[in-house]
Amino acid sequence: MTSIRLLVVLTMLALGLCAPALAQDEVSGDIELGAEGRGRYDGPRDSGDVRIGLQLRLDALTMLGPLDSTSGATGLNAQSIGRRLMVPFATPGVRLVDGKLFIGAGIGLHGWSTEDEDGNEASRSGFGLSPLAQFDVIRSDAAALSLGGALQFASLSETEVCPDGPPGCMDQNDGATGVGLSLGAGVRGLLLPGLAIGGDLGWGFISLSSDDDSSTFIHGIYAAILFEATVGV
């Protein structure tokens, strides 16, 4: 009987000593499993590498008034429209290379319409497409300085002249197409995540060829006020 009691006591003692070790092994196993699980966890892809963006530009020289934006004078209307097509109004695109590179396709529209006191009317319009690229050469968390350029493709309609109002309108056979290039620098400051404001300054040219075999070379400094919005994909 005494031997049985001694055997029971030794068994209980052995179980008491083994239980903490087993519990510790179980906790250690859980920790290792958790660490291993975290190591294997495949989180969501970083959405900051590629961002879809939209840039809006306002022609600062037109807004400030040094240049007439509605000139309909003979020989000047093509220059008036072509000059403003160097500043695309809307540019959808993408930001790549950690947000430093912006590639987009700018779209520009401009035109003029005049009417004198005798009721004589004249009008003309133009469309521009400007593939562009800008790269940030200096960048901080709140601002960036970029360099870039754009190709310019322009199309101008024929001048429509109405000596006695709309019923007597005639086209002047001066429709034109042109190509050009612009180079410049820009700065922008971050207002909110994904929203920035800044400006561009540069020089560009467009060479126009008209249907009447005449040509016009437009060149000069351009300046623009820039608004940009981007979102990660």
Q: State the average pLDDT over residues 126-152.
A: 96
Choice between 64 and 177, residue whose per-residue pLDDT is larger: 177
pLDDT at 76: 52
pLDDT digits (tens, 9 = 90+) for 62-81: 766 544 444 444 445 788 88
Nearest residue to 153 (alpha-carbon basis) of 124, 130, 183, 176: 130
Band (pLDDT 50/70/90 cuts) for residue 208 is: very high
Considering the chain, what is the average pLDDT of its residues? 79
Whole-number Å distance between alpha carbons of 7 and 202: 97
Band (pLDDT 50/70/90 cuts) for residue 123 is: confident
Band (pLDDT 50/70/90 cuts) for residue 33 is: very low
Least confident span in 29-38, 146-155, 218-227: 29-38
Choice between 114 and 194, residue whose per-residue pLDDT is larger: 194
Whole-number Å distance between alpha carbons of 173 and 171: 6
Q: Measured between alpha carbons, how far apart are the two ends of the chain, in Å? A: 79
Percent pLDDT > 70 in the chain is 72
